[in-house]
Structure 1
């Protein structure tokens, strides 16, 4: 497995552990989901999905197919975040972090794609 993929998996894994936990602990996240028009249930689902993607992408360091699956989960999550920013007519500068994370997740998927088959 290329070093680039391992580095990205560690960074994405640690980041999404943090993002996932924030969905449960941050008052700002609770208010953000309300502002976006999403329910508390969706916030909790998103938190669990982010935590799962973090664990899966980190375990993917040793099991390549899981790196691909975790990367796909991250891409899906960030696609949803970007759509949310577009829905509320947010400035592009506020979409940069989800865009960057989507690209990094996609790189992990591309590097590890062949491990699925």
Structure 2
């Protein structure tokens, strides 16, 4: 969806998607920031995963970058797609490596899917360019 002009009948869905994008951006800025800052729980969790602390920095950086993209009107689709990929990895990691509930990652994945779906015209236009 473009942020230029929204028909009156589509205003509420447009506002709802913006609210979801804002909440997702806050969540991923917090989670990514915790990984980049080196919060002890994050350091321990990534140690348990076994891919090294560089993977923690990569994941945190991707989360922060995706959160920023979510807030940019013409880049929100790309941020959502990036974060969907990160959350697929998180769900798999929870299920196969570290244990615990994958439900938070699944919820974040689903909310990013809603944003990506709402931006499907942008994704389709990019796909046609290639």
Question: TM-score if structure 2 supplies the norm length?
Answer: 0.80
C-alpha distance after superposition, 1:19-63 (max 9, x if no partner) = 11100220110000011212111111111111100000111xx32
Structure 1 match to 2:110: 103
Kindly tell me the number of residue pairs found equivalent between the two proteins. 111
- Normalised TM-score (structure 1): 0.89
Q: Which stretches in structure 2 are left out of the alignment for 5+ residues? A: 2-13, 126-130
Structure 1: segments with no counterpart, 5+ residues: none
Q: SS of the counterpart of 2:54? A: helix
**More helix per residue:** 1
* Larger Rg computed on CA atoms: 2
Select the structure with the greater relative contact order (CA < 8 A; seq sep ≥ 6).
1
Q: Partner residue of 1:41? A: 54
- Mapped partners of 2:90, 2:30: distance in 1: 16
Segments of 4+ in structure 1 off by > 6 A?
none
